[in-house]
């Protein structure tokens, strides 16, 4: 399958020789070079899929209804798995193992540069947004566990910028410097445990908040009993927010091929199984957390789910713990997103050359410094990269896989995969335009 995987990746450490339909590492000095296990790869992919977007899915369910949300989530997750299937199919047919190389195969060097720039912009935007969230939320998450006498305006742990710099240097930088994405399987499994913890807390706290919601001095909101009935289908102007939220919640395509390269005995079938397991488990966690979050607050669920618990369960230890767990999960996702960004930058600057610790380290420091500066000095980075994300995310998730398959594959247009590729492109354009309109509309409303 792949004769020289190291040429396309950041030092995979082995070469691959075709053996029938399956591929196996070459023996090196009598010992077999072993790659990442299937479960380690699955945890890495799940970590790439799940992030802070899980906090907004209950809001999406409130605006689409339980059945409507479930159908949309199933469709989006299936399309994400199918687009990855097309990418892996092309890689297997053309002896290619990177997203950038697929762009080059389809449209020569301009295609390679386009894909690399898209990945770089998308992942820098995602990392900056995650660090911005950490800067904003970490002080409150830490001080929530402390008494009022311990906290104060002069305390260093109440300064989001200081905390952000510290966690970047202590946690993100060492993990980002690792040469292989497979090494992040341990931290990714920890991040997935944090997401499971969040889901369990959402389920448990469903019975801690009564409906109708209680009225007190800090809450000027009440629900009548009829509003405690869950809606199966909902169609409103806010329903447009649901599809982009779901689509971006399953974006992991920039990490798929690097994970594929380092998978032990990499084959399309093996990587497709890893993908299916990752997307299925993410789907289950998304659906359960969204459902019980919605059944807790119904139509008054906040756009960020944890804000509702802050209102009705102030200083609840379990809620404060889950907030900290989500922040840690987001923190551990940053090094994983950094890997494809660094790989794209090295491809743009050096081409397909052998691994070099010097350039590896310089590119790592450059990207993290840029991301850190953006998170610290841009006032509202989520809006800035919202427009970029609505275009680059859609391209990587839907448009590019479909477009590359139609260009590279020799199958007739009426074949099943070609028809699916066309459908992916159409869906991508619709979701991209819809996302952009939603963001612009929210800006106009905010003026």
Contacts of 357 (CB under 8 A, 6+ apart): none
Terminal Cα distance for the chain, rounded: 55
Distance CA 303, CA 238 (A): 11
Q: Give the number of domains in the chain.
A: 1
Domain for residue 107, yes or no?
A: yes
Domain for residue 6, yes or no?
A: no
Partners of residue 25 on adjacent β-strands: 16
Structural domain for 133, as ranges? 37-446
Domain for residue 19, yes or no?
A: no
Domain for residue 274, yes or no?
A: yes
- Give kind and range of the element (H or E) at residue 251: none
Q: What is the torsional sign of CA 421, 424, 428, 430?
A: positive
Domain for residue 230, yes or no?
A: yes
DSSP at 396: I
Domain for residue 21, yes or no?
A: no
pLDDT the model gives residue 276: 93
Reported as a single tens digit per residue, the pLDDT across 185-230 is: 888 889 999 999 999 999 998 888 887 666 554 444 444 556 678 8
Q: Contact at 8 Å (CB) between 285 and 54?
A: yes
pLDDT the model gives residue 68: 92
The ranges of the chain with pLDDT < 70 are: 1-35, 147-154, 212-227, 237, 380-386, 389, 446-447
Residue-by-residue DSSP string for 323-348: HHHHHHHHHHHHHHHHHHHHHHHHHH
Domain for residue 11, yes or no?
A: no
pLDDT the model gives residue 253: 86
pLDDT the model gives residue 294: 92
* 412 alpha carbon, distance to own chain's centre: 33
Q: What is the largest CA-CA distance in the chain?
A: 74
pLDDT the model gives residue 30: 32
3-class DSSP state for residue 378? coil
pLDDT the model gives residue 426: 92
DSSP at 276: H
Reported as a single tens digit per residue, the pLDDT across 280-317 is: 999 999 999 999 999 998 888 888 888 888 888 888 88
DSSP at 26: P
Q: Which CATH number belongs to the domain containing residue 43 in this structure? A: 1.20.1740.10
How far CA 90 is from CA of 84, 216, 341, in Å, comes to 10, 59, 22
Residues in the chain: 447
Q: Count of CB atoms within 10 A of residue 150's CB?
A: 10
Numbers of helices and strands, H then E, in the chain:
16, 4
Domain for residue 29, yes or no?
A: no
pTM: 0.81
Percent of the chain with pLDDT over 70: 84
Reported as a single tens digit per residue, the pLDDT across 319-337 is: 889 989 999 998 999 999 9
3-class DSSP state for residue 18? strand
């Amino acid at each position: 399958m792949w004769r020289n995987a190291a040429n396309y990746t950041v030092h995979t450490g082995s070469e691959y020789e075709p053996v029938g339909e399956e591929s196996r590492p070459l023996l090196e000095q009598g010992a077999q070079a072993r790659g990442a296990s299937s479960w380690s790869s699955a945890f890495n992919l799940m970590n790439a899929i799940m992030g802070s977007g899980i906090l907004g899915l209950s809001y999406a369910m409130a605006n689409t209804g339980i059945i409507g949300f479930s159908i949309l989530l199933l469709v989006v997750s299936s399309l994400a798995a199918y687009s990855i299937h097309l990418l892996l199919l092309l890689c297997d047919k053309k002896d290619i193992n990177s997203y950038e190389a697929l762009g080059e195969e389809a449209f020569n060097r301009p295609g390679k540069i386009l894909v690399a720039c898209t990945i770089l912009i998308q992942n820098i935007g995602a990392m900056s947004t995650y660090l911005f969230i950490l800067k904003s939320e970490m002080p409150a998450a830490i001080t929530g566990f402390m008494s009022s006498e311990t906290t104060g305006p002069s305390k260093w742990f109440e300064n989001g910028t200081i905390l952000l710099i510290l966690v970047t240097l202590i946690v993100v930088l060492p993990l980002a410097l690792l040469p292989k994405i497979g090494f992040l399987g341990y931290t990714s499994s920890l991040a997935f445990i944090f997401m499971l913890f969040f889901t369990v807390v959402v389920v448990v706290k469903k019975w801690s908040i009564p409906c109708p919601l209680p009225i007190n001095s800090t809450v000027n909101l009440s629900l009548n009993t009829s509003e405690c009935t869950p809606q199966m289908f909902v169609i409103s102007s806010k329903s447009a927010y649901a599809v982009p939220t779901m689509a971006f919640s399953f974006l992991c395509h920039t990490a798929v091929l690097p994970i594929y390269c380092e998978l032990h005995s990499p084959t399309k079938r093996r990587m497709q199984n890893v993908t299916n397991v990752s997307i299925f488990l993410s789907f289950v966690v998304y659906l359960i957390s969204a459902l019980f979050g919605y059944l807790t607050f119904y139509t008054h669920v906040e756009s960020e789910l944890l804000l509702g618990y802050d209102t009705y369960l102030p200083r609840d230890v379990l809620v404060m713990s889950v907030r900290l767990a989500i922040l840690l999960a987001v923190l551990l996702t940053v090094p994983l997103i950094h890997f494809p960004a660094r790989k794209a930058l090295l491809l743009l600057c050096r081409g397909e050359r052998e691994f070099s610790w010097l350039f590896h380290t310089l590119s790592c420091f450059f990207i993290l410094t840029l991301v850190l500066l953006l998170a610290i000095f841009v006032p509202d980075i989520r809006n800035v990269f919202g427009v970029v994300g609505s275009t680059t995310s859609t391209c990587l998730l839907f448009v590019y896989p479909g477009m590359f398959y139609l260009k590279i594959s020799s199958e007739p247009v009426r074949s099943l995969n070609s028809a699916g590729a066309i459908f992916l492109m159409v869906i991508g354009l619709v979701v991209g335009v819809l996302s952009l309109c939603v963001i612009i509309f929210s800006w106009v409303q905010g003026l």
